[in-house]
Amino acid sequence: MIAQGEIYLVDFAKKYNSEFGKVRPAVILQNNFLNRSLDVSKYQSVLVVPLSTQDIQTEYKIEISPRDNLKEKSFIVANWLCTLDLKRIQADKGIITKLSSDELQELKAKICDLI
């Protein structure tokens, strides 16, 4: 089961205009109540936030240092929120890393600033 704050490889498919694309790490943002229900849900969608190794010029990013299976300094780009099908998450390849409580709270705060 995936859990909020975990980072996995996600297949965002082909890039379209200014959208992000390709297989890249993403943070599971969806809450764990919904994550636990995915197996029985008709619609298996998951809310994620992609990471980029490029220092995107936005105030809505959080720098993540390399650790565990995250090999490069990366940036969580909070204004790139995305809902996608569970099958796009490559959970079978294992978790890359997990956000600390402070990092997850910072991400949630940046997302609250967006709305």
- Which residues, at least 6 apart from 52, have a Cβ–Cβ distance to it below 8 Å? 20, 24, 74, 75, 77
Amino acid in the structure at residue 106: E
What the block records as the tokens of 59 is 């105030």
Instruction: Evaluate whether 58 touches 99 at the Cβ level (below 8 Å).
Output: no
- Check residues 39 and 76 and name the one with the higher pLDDT: 76
Q: What angle do CA 80, 92, 14 make, to 5 degrees?
A: 40
Instruction: Evaluate whether 7 touches 98 at the Cβ level (below 8 Å).
Output: yes
Predicted pLDDT at 19: 59
For residue range 69-114, list pLDDT tens digits in order. Answer: 999 999 999 999 999 999 999 999 999 999 999 999 999 999 999 8
Amino acid in the structure at residue 1: M
pTM: 0.92
Predicted pLDDT at 13: 79
